Amino acid sequence: MKKITSFLICMGCLFTFSQCDMVENPNDETPIVHPSDYAKIAFLARITDGSSVWSLCTMDKSGGSLRKIVDKTVTCQKPVCSHGRTKLLFTSVHFKTWTNPDNSVGMSSEYGLYIVNTDGTGLTLIDHVGPTEAAQFGHLAWSPDDRQIAYIKYSGEGFRKHDLILYNLTENTRQSLKTKGDICTMSFSPDGKYMAYCASTEAGHHIYKMDISGGNSQLIIRNGSSPKWSPQGDKIVYSAQGSEGEAQLFIADSDGQNQKQLTFTISPRRWPGWPPDGNQNPQWTPDGRKIVYVSWENAKPEIFIMNVDGSKQTRLTKAEYRDENPEITPDGQSILWVCVESCG
């Protein structure tokens, strides 16, 4: 594999936000590369316009003008780019407030699940949660051929009901897949035949594998979460607790066999427990030979890279602030990440 170069999308340096430069939810702020020439990136930004709305935007990867591609007065969340780099899947939330006759303030929220072309055209509503419904959307994923999307829908009292829904974009049909426990995240296998998912049970978080039809759900990894398939589909990298309760990275065969711990470093715990320290957020390089991840080894999150067997763990960034949410370009030559500047 050629040597990987890296460049920074720093929220605190490139853009002016209406209040402060801190990313409110780092998991939602991962930069996305599109289209096939990797010339642009898509991300969430709060533009200085007097509002607190987070907008779905694009810009050239070399910097320059920021363009809002979804012209909606709602907060966009969780953008995920299709594998063909032509469409974006995202959720939105619209909060409404009013004043009652007794001067008390009421509030309701509406959630939407949308797909839009990366040039801003073709905005399509996939699912909707009205103001009287107790529901919202969770993790989102594209199938490898971009013909289907999977998403989690939380509903019921306390959002305790977790449904995994598979939506066929060609046939405009949706199917609720039966899972073990309360599903948290999921990942398609590269051939599109299986899903690995993490579910919460009374015994903890476990990783399961099932057919794309929703059948034959099998427990493959105990006490693991956030599974990510290798590009070849033969391995799964995942997170689990280490000896001190910190997050560590592990790898296993796609059937759960031959589990191996990859990282062992423990953070000095400058901020114990918030956010979770240790090693997390693994991303495969396109050739499946290396893993890029976030490590709290030096008391703050920084971007690291290692071989698939855990060897040659190398720090790529050393910033003043927090380096999080790495995204590797499809050609494997560059890495984008978010630099989070704290408020205060």
In order, the DSSP letters of 269-284 are -SSTTSS--BEEEEEE
Question: Among candidates 35, 45, 37, which has minimal Cα distance to 66?
Answer: 45
- Residue 272 confidence (pLDDT): 53
Q: Are residues 149 and 143 in contact, defined by beta-carbon separation less than 8 angstroms? A: yes
Confidence grade of residue 298 (pLDDT, cut at 50, 70, 90): confident
Q: Calculate ∠ Cα 261-263-267, nearest 5°.
A: 135
Arithmetic mean of pLDDT over the chain: 81
- Residue 118 confidence (pLDDT): 86
In the numeric block, the tokens 């989102």 are attached to 140
Question: Among candidates 240, 320, 233, 332, which has minimal Cα distance to 279?
Answer: 240
Q: Are residues 13 and 322 in contact, defined by beta-carbon separation less than 8 angstroms? A: no
Q: Calculate ∠ Cα 74-76-82, nearest 5°.
A: 140
The two three-digit tokens of residue 164, written as one number: 């995994």
Q: Could you tell me which residue, 94 or 190, shows the higher pLDDT?
A: 190
Q: Mean pLDDT across the stretch 49-66?
A: 71
The two three-digit tokens of residue 43, written as one number: 């991300």
* Structural element, H or E, at residue 11: helix 11-14
Q: Residue 289: is it exposed, middle or buried by C-beta count within 10 angstroms (0-12/13-18/19+)?
A: middle
Amino acid at 118: T
Coil, strand or helix at 344: coil
- Residue 22 confidence (pLDDT): 27
Q: What is the rounded CA–CA span in Å between residue 4 and residue 205?
A: 34
Q: How many CB atoms lie within 10 A of CB 58?
A: 21
Question: Among candidates 340, 339, 336, 304, which has minimal Cα distance to 39?
Answer: 336
Question: Among candidates 145, 127, 124, 149, which has minimal Cα distance to 136?
Answer: 127
- Residue 49 confidence (pLDDT): 56
What is the chain's Cα-based Rg?
Answer: 20
Q: Are residues 242 and 202 in contact, defined by beta-carbon separation less than 8 angstroms? A: no
Q: Are residues 278 and 262 in contact, defined by beta-carbon separation less than 8 angstroms? A: no
CA distances from 173 to 64, 74, 97, 131, 165 (A): 40, 26, 34, 24, 10
Question: Is the pLDDT at 2 greater than 50, yes or no?
Answer: no
The 10s digit of each residue's pLDDT in 182-227 is: 999 999 999 999 999 999 888 889 999 999 988 789 999 999 999 9
Amino acid at 191: D
The 10s digit of each residue's pLDDT in 304-344 is: 999 999 999 999 988 677 888 888 888 888 888 888 775 44
Q: Mean pLDDT across the stretch 253-262?
A: 98
Q: Are residues 239 and 248 in contact, defined by beta-carbon separation less than 8 angstroms? A: yes
Q: Could you tell me which residue, 98 or 102, shows the higher pLDDT?
A: 102
Coil, strand or helix at 179: coil
Percent of the chain at pLDDT exceeding 70: 80
Confidence grade of residue 33 (pLDDT, cut at 50, 70, 90): low
